[in-house]
Amino acid sequence: MPVAMEWVAGGALGATLALVTTPIWSWLFRRTPEGDRWERREAPLPELARDLAGSYGGYAMVLTRSHKVVYTTAQAETLPVYEGTKLIHSGLLELAENAWNEDEMQSRRLSFTDLGPVADAEVRATRLADSYILLTVTDLTQTMRARQIRHDFIANIGHELRTPVTAVELIGSALEAGAEDPEMVRHFARRLSQESHRLARLTEDMMALAKAQDQDSSRFGEVNVLDVIQEAAGRHRTTSEEASIGVRVQASPGLTVFGDKEALVTAIDNLVANAVAYSPPGSEVLVSATLKSGEVAIAVVDQGIGIEAPDQERVFERFYRTDQARSRRTGGTGLGLAIVRNTVSGHGGRVTVQSEVGRGSAFTVWLPRRILGDSA
Ligand code: ADP
């Protein structure tokens, strides 16, 4: 073949090869963003991977082998775990890496201080064929918090029960030992009755709290507010008279709310009980109901010992008392205000407190007003 022909054939072959290989090359590889080398292109994200991640209601993302995030659910987008398009969270990366290397679903319970709203989570990583890793984060923060609250509550109940139960045991032994002495028997019988009363109150309050936390709105109906405050105040007539404390009731006419009358009476009853218990003889407690900015405001105002500012929010916590010894003397269970708060929030309302040490306290229950003709 003449040299010229060979040149032409060689050129044609080269051009054909270039024509065929260039698209293949650029299909498989591309320049790095820095432009200094070629990197393998990732296969396009298959619909299935996207659907899989998308159908996962919470936090889910799809990563490439090189930890580039190619898909996130709207929720996962808010996690502070990316730098540009790269996943940078070490805990998540480690799990993703394990899933890739083991080619097996990896699952781990992790606690985070840096995942924004997610404090506890179950994280799962799954390798999707040869190109991707699916990462899901199941938020367990609320579950863990609820578990902690339940745990603390049971521990608190144990602690609260231990005191009267131990007292009853000791009194029993003392009674036995002093059975011949009528004065001793009378003394210990009185103590026994006090401790049984405390146990009964604790049981009643625990049941009232459980009911307040799980309010049955099917029992709701139209409730006359004056009836509620009169009944609640009336339950303390004897105790307040014994302590020389005046309890006055005042209400704007015709106020009604939508709710469970018995539960509302119990809530206001707790506020009046505290007002009487933490007030000096000769003072007055005012229980009033008015309409304020469209809401029904039931206020229980006393001239008692008051509550220090840092305690004012904490008194609504279960078993929180500002003064253990005093609360024990007054026969308090430490659950009264927790019952109030739960009952009121179950009625779409709230409870607030204003107080000054040495001057008195005002607890106000705010409830939505029931307008005539409102339906449940
Ligand atoms: P308790 O059964 O101990 O009264 P509560 O939940 O009703 O429990 O109240 C929690 C704590 O809040 C009380 O122990 C007391 O320290 C404080 N407290 C509640 N109401 C008043 C009040 N009217 N005046 C002063 N302190 C109050």
HEC letters along 171-198: HHHHHHHCCCCHHHHHHHHHHHHHHHHH
330 — pLDDT class (breaks 50, 70, 90): confident
22 — pLDDT class (breaks 50, 70, 90): low
> How far is Cα 234 from Cα 277, in angstroms, rounded to an integer?
15
> How far is Cα 137 from Cα 125, in angstroms, rounded to an integer?
9
Of ligand 1's atoms, which has the minimum distance to the CA of residue 337?
6
pLDDT digits (tens, 9 = 90+) for 230-256: 999 999 999 899 999 999 999 998 999
Cβ of 303 less than 6 Å from ligand 1: no
Write the single-letter amino acid at 82. Answer: Y
What's the mean pLDDT when you consider all of the chain? 88
- Residue 160 in this model has a pLDDT that exceeds 60: yes
**Which residue's CA is the closest to the ligand 1 atom numbered 12?**
315
The predicted structure's pLDDT at residue 164 = 86
> How far is Cα 54 from Cα 204, in angstroms, rounded to an integer?
49
**Which residue's CA is the closest to the ligand 1 atom numbered 14?**
321
- Residue 220 in this model has a pLDDT that exceeds 80: yes
Cβ of 304 less than 6 Å from ligand 1: yes
Cβ of 209 less than 6 Å from ligand 1: no
Q: Ligand 1 test: best mutation among 272, 274, 276, 352, most atoms within 8 Å of CB? A: 274
Q: pTM for the complete prediction? A: 0.69
248 or 6, which is more confident? 248
20 — pLDDT class (breaks 50, 70, 90): low
The Å distance, Cα 227 to ligand 1 centre, comes to: 24
Tokens for 287, please give them: 């229980």
